[in-house]
Structure 1
Amino acid sequence: MSVNQFQFGRTKSVAKRSKKYLEEALYTRLFREGSEEASVRHKLNQFLKSHKRVYKWEVGDTLKKLRDRKLYYPALKLSETMTKRGMNKMVSDHAIHLDLVAKTRGIAAAENYFIDLPESSKNHLCYGALLNCYCKELMTEEAEALMEKMKELNLPLSAMPYNSLLTLYTKTGQPEKIPAIIQEMKASNVMLDSYTYNVWMRALAAVNDIAETERVIDEMKRDGRVAGDWTTYSNLASIYVDAGLFEKAEKALKELEKRNVCRELSAYQFLITLYGRAGNLIEVFRVWRSLRLAFLKTANISYLNMIQTLINLKDLPGAEKCFREWESGCSTYDIRIANALIGAYTKEGLLEKAEELKERARRRGAKPNAKTWEIFLDYYLKSGEFKLAVDCVANAISIGRGDGGKWLPSSVVVRRLMEHFEQEKDVDGAEGFLEILKKAVDNVGAEALESLIRTYAAAGRTSPVIRRWLKMENVEVNEVCMKLLEKISVE
């Protein structure tokens, strides 16, 4: 497909274009049957096979919508295919493509893409995209070196690359580095944006400097160029809640409400969560009613947030009532919402109710996921029902995580189960559990194998394979276990 088959403006109407073009906007076609990745990939493949033409602005809008929904693989495929068919990439397009490569193929692939770009395309946007990738991967040295390179090249720096560094320092537990970045921005006449102020406030809160946090808010107000939005005040309210300053938190929440003029769902959910953390059940229900009035259909995520808040406030009857309301009208039975109530039941020792809800969810088409089994696992460990706990581990490993990744029990869970088998001198139970564990991990680790050796010794049993197992896993056990190994190993 040649370059001139892509339109670079929005002057051409989708409705008036010829039959050689796609008969509807590309993003409408891709999301016609929902935003599940399998459905979007199918629709994208249909479009690519059809060789229909689209305007360039459609590709840009579609890529934005795919990225917003974290559908990075189809987004990358669309970007790559359109480039092969002749769509000219602007510098901003290169930056977006680099970000997609990093998210789907890893940081090394993103670096190679950047290196292969012509020098004319390596402007502040592409450098900034690579910097953001380093920061997301918590690659501090690489991020700092790239930022210095950007300064050496005299690239125009906005708040964005600085914000990436601020986020990096926050995530890596280095809030002490943030004030210096703020001072550098001011010295370089880089205008602080609302994100900068929010991260700055969080960094100060992390070192319990509430007075300085309040000074940042005052500075933002005096500056006048950046107006505090609802995110700023939800951030401030959260800081106050964490500090136990509930009266100040509620004042910040009132400011949050004033600034939610666009009726953003996230703002309502923050209000519900933060009023809940402040222990104000009356305000939780008031905001919930406002949310219900603001949107024609209440989203699953809103019900989940409300139910979790009520559970945290120990209002189980209120959570059950909210759940029944959702269950009676939901079009898709969301296992996450059922899990919230199942978790509340197990914590209260109401196992029968938890089991009944799990089965009801299954009948409605929502199969238990790894989180469901994790909830029951926690209950059975606490109640000493170890066989059932092992079954939960097996089920969770079999299902895996929702993102396609493997589910792994925590080291605490593994240790607790192996200690039980050791105490009970249950060699068969220990080996059976480790066989289940090996379905999810390449190596079960020295700690688990040392426990197995001690279990064999306690049971007075010998093993012809345990030495080979240690060798296969390339594990070295401690001195005590080496002595026990001499006793239990037989050829």
Structure 2
Amino acid sequence: MAKNPSRALLYARAATRRLCTDAVMTETAAESKVAQSPSSSSSLYRRLSGLGDASSGTVTKTLNKWVREGKSVKKYEIEKYVKELRKYKRYNQALELMEWLESRGTNLSYSDYAIRLDLLSKTKGITEAEKYFTSLSEPAKNHLTYGALLNAYCVEKMLDKAMALLDKMKELNFASTSLIYNNIMSLYMRLHQPEKIPLLFQEMKAEKISPNAFTYNVLMNSYASLKDIEAVERVVEEMKEEGNVCCDWTTHSNLAAIYVEAGNFDKADAALKGLEKTINRRDRQAFHFLISLYAHTCNLAEVKRVWESLKSTFPKTTNLSYLVMLQALAKLGDFNALGKCFEEWELGCVSYDVRLVNVLISSYLRRDMIEEAKSLYESTVVKGPGPNFRTLEMFIEFYLKNDQIDLAKKHFETAVSKAKDDEWQPSQEKVRAFLKHFEESKDVDGAEEFYKKLKKVNCLDLEVYSSLLRTYIAAGKMEPLMRQRMKMDEIKMNSGTEELLGSVCPE
């Protein structure tokens, strides 16, 4: 995989990943009798979905309260809720639902075991998932649970364990589906080893395992990463000739993104025309891909045409649709259209989404329109939830670039005060810019305050301490406790740092 793929290629790869995710969900649920999503009228589901990010045990309490009220809970209903919670990545609550089922003596199906194993890997880690797999009865160690464990290894980039498990699955004849090979292909892409994917594809064909749309899309991406566009085109032709797999909109969008990445905008436009012929007109995401990819081919007219088509197709234009369009206009540099689109969104929006505000703030800052950017920043406090970390980062970057260190520090401190549970860390580039300023201005007090802020967001390392030491040396000051501080912060020193430390904190 290319280490720095464009946003367009990332979008297209996201579509193919979604195909694999859907396949995993389908296969692990194959033996269950879950046919549809829970009804919105279900008061139990409303209670569960209303828990949000509630702490562990809350789901169990809610279910127990429901039962104490004399109401029944069917197994198939819990399975529906688990499926829905997984879709929204509320894995802890989905796992708690399954644990509640087991605590009541409910017999789980083989697909339930696979789903629970998947949830354990996502919430408690691979070790717990492995323990659970080992604890299963021999009949329960089937293609579903083996497949779930393999998927967990692949997600965590554990190549050796994944390949060892694949060999075992081959022995047991559990590796006869495209989903198994798709997982390994995805792993190779994550590990930046695209050259191994064509060989795996040939192995599939030798084993008479039919590739699906995801398989072909990953194969296309592997060739794209190897800069072999002709091979990409051969894959598309093979799909058409085989006839077993439809060249749907995900394939066309993937092909267009690959052409964009290669700088071949004419072929990208042609692929996008093919995409438009295949999309489901009720699928918003397809429109989003078109807008983004046309933006990457620098085709403003097509961006605006698809945007008008999207708005005429759907009765309501969502925040996400506006976000995609604003990003496209910002990329194309159409500042006037950007402003008009933002105003249109503001007038009709139900919820104020700071991500959209950030697009316009970013455009203001790139044009040094600081007053306009600040005004928009302040409106997020009045109209919405306030600035997010991205908002603050943009201002920090602007003020650092313009040597307005006090204002940069102010926004940095705001970001630190908002951060909880390691949810934000500053980029190394921004940290270095601050550290360089303190060194050059011999500002020990400023450096120490900055050190405290970095400690709060768990962002201390040898580079930070080395800069702090150099600042002390430049200012001609000593810090007797520095060696002890470094030990407490678990900083491993090298010879250069030892030399610096000797000048600030002699033994």
TM-score (norm 2): 0.88
Q: 2:13 maps to what in 1?
A: none
Query: Offset at 1:485?
Result: 3.3
Indicate conservation of the 8 Å contact 1:27/1:65, yes or no: no
Q: 1:24 maps to what in 2?
A: 42
Query: Offset at 1:250?
Result: 1.1
Change (3 A) 1:112 1:43: closer
Query: Offset at 1:473?
Result: 2.8
Matched, 1:53 2:72: yes
Q: 1:430 maps to what in 2?
A: 447
Q: Pick the aligned partner of 1:482 from 492, 498, 506.
A: 498
Q: Measure, in 1, the Cα distance between the counterparts of 2:87 and 2:401.
A: 40
Indicate conservation of the 8 Å contact 2:352/2:384, yes or no: yes
The AA in structure 2 aligned to 1:308 is Q
Indicate conservation of the 8 Å contact 1:272/1:306, yes or no: yes
Q: Measure, in 2, the Cα distance between the counterparts of 1:69 and 1:129.
A: 19
Query: Offset at 1:289?
Result: 1.2
Q: Pick the aligned partner of 1:95 from 101, 114, 119.
A: 114
**Larger mean Cα displacement after TM superposition, 98-107 or 47-56:** 47-56
Query: Offset at 1:480?
Result: 4.9
CA RMSD of aligned residues (A): 2.4
Q: 2:434 maps to what in 1?
A: 417
Indicate conservation of the 8 Å contact 2:60/2:100, yes or no: no
Q: 2:358 maps to what in 1?
A: 339
Q: Measure, in 2, the Cα distance between the counterparts of 1:490 and 1:10.
A: 69
Q: 2:265 maps to what in 1?
A: 246
DSSP 3-state at the match of 2:128:
helix
Indicate conservation of the 8 Å contact 1:233/1:253, yes or no: yes
Q: Pick the aligned partner of 1:360 from 369, 375, 379.
A: 379
Query: Offset at 1:470?
Result: 2.4
Indicate conservation of the 8 Å contact 1:343/1:375, yes or no: yes
Indicate conservation of the 8 Å contact 2:444/2:472, yes or no: yes
Change (3 A) 1:94 1:300: same
Q: Measure, in 2, the Cα distance between the counterparts of 1:439 and 1:176.
A: 42
Q: Measure, in 1, the Cα distance between the counterparts of 2:121 and 2:496.
A: 46
TM-score (norm 1): 0.90
Q: Measure, in 2, the Cα distance between the counterparts of 1:9 and 1:131.
A: 24
Q: Pick the aligned partner of 2:484 from 438, 450, 468.
A: 468
The AA in structure 2 aligned to 1:61 is K
Indicate conservation of the 8 Å contact 2:354/2:384, yes or no: no
Indicate conservation of the 8 Å contact 1:240/1:249, yes or no: yes
Query: Offset at 1:26?
Result: 4.6
Q: Measure, in 2, the Cα distance between the counterparts of 1:177 and 1:47.
A: 48
Query: Offset at 1:162?
Result: 0.6
Q: 2:456 maps to what in 1?
A: 439
Q: Pick the aligned partner of 1:71 from 90, 113, 123.
A: 90
Q: Pick the aligned partner of 1:459 from 472, 475, 490.
A: 475
Query: Offset at 1:452?
Result: 1.3
Paired residues for 1:31-430 under 5 Å: 31=49, 36-38=52-54, 45-51=61-67, 52-400=71-419, 405-430=422-447
The AA in structure 1 aligned to 2:183 is S
DSSP 3-state at the match of 1:438:
helix
Q: Measure, in 2, the Cα distance between the counterparts of 1:119 and 1:410.
A: 48
Q: Measure, in 2, the Cα distance between the counterparts of 1:338 and 1:53.
A: 46
Q: Measure, in 1, the Cα distance between the counterparts of 2:198 and 2:175.
A: 21
DSSP 3-state at the match of 1:88:
coil
Q: Measure, in 1, the Cα distance between the counterparts of 2:34 and 2:404.
A: 64
Structure 1 residue runs of 4 or more that deviate by more than 6 Å after TM superposition? 39-44
Instruction: Could you tell me which runs of 5 or more consecutive residues in structure 2 were left unpaired when the two chains were aligned.
Output: 1-31
Q: Measure, in 1, the Cα distance between the counterparts of 2:55 and 2:290.
A: 34
Query: Offset at 1:265?
Result: 1.2
Change (3 A) 1:201 1:239: same
**Larger mean Cα displacement after TM superposition, 413-422 or 427-436:** 413-422
Query: Offset at 1:330?
Result: 1.2
Change (3 A) 1:67 1:282: same
DSSP 3-state at the match of 2:166:
helix
Q: Measure, in 1, the Cα distance between the counterparts of 2:57 and 2:369.
A: 42
Change (3 A) 1:462 1:83: same
Q: Measure, in 2, the Cα distance between the counterparts of 1:92 and 1:334.
A: 38
Q: Measure, in 1, the Cα distance between the counterparts of 2:319 and 2:34.
A: 35
Report percent identity of matched pairs: 45
Query: Offset at 1:477?
Result: 4.2
Indicate conservation of the 8 Å contact 1:342/1:357, yes or no: yes
Q: Measure, in 2, the Cα distance between the counterparts of 1:241 and 1:41.
A: 48
Q: Measure, in 1, the Cα distance between the counterparts of 2:34 and 2:446.
A: 67
Query: Offset at 1:398?
Result: 2.1
Q: Measure, in 2, the Cα distance between the counterparts of 1:136 and 1:490.
A: 48
Q: Measure, in 2, the Cα distance between the counterparts of 1:115 and 1:483.
A: 52
Q: Measure, in 2, the Cα distance between the counterparts of 1:366 and 1:236.
A: 39
The structure whose RCO (Cα within 8 Å, separation 6+) is larger is 2
Please give the per-residue CA displacement for 1:393-433, whole angstroms capped at 9, x wherever unaligned.
222222227xx543111222222211111111111111110
DSSP 3-state at the match of 1:130:
helix
Change (3 A) 1:86 1:487: closer
DSSP 3-state at the match of 1:373:
helix
Change (3 A) 1:274 1:142: same
Q: Measure, in 1, the Cα distance between the counterparts of 2:244 and 2:495.
A: 66
Q: Measure, in 1, the Cα distance between the counterparts of 2:503 and 2:394.
A: 40
Please give the per-residue CA displacement for 1:449-481, whole angstroms capped at 9, x wherever unaligned.
111111111111122222222232343545455
Change (3 A) 1:55 1:479: closer
Q: Measure, in 1, the Cα distance between the counterparts of 2:375 and 2:441.
A: 32
The AA in structure 2 aligned to 1:461 is K
Q: How many residues align?
A: 471
Please give the per-residue CA displacement for 1:307-336, whole angstroms capped at 9, x wherever unaligned.
011101101221111111111111111111
Q: Measure, in 1, the Cα distance between the counterparts of 2:186 and 2:146.
A: 17
Q: 1:448 maps to what in 2?
A: 464
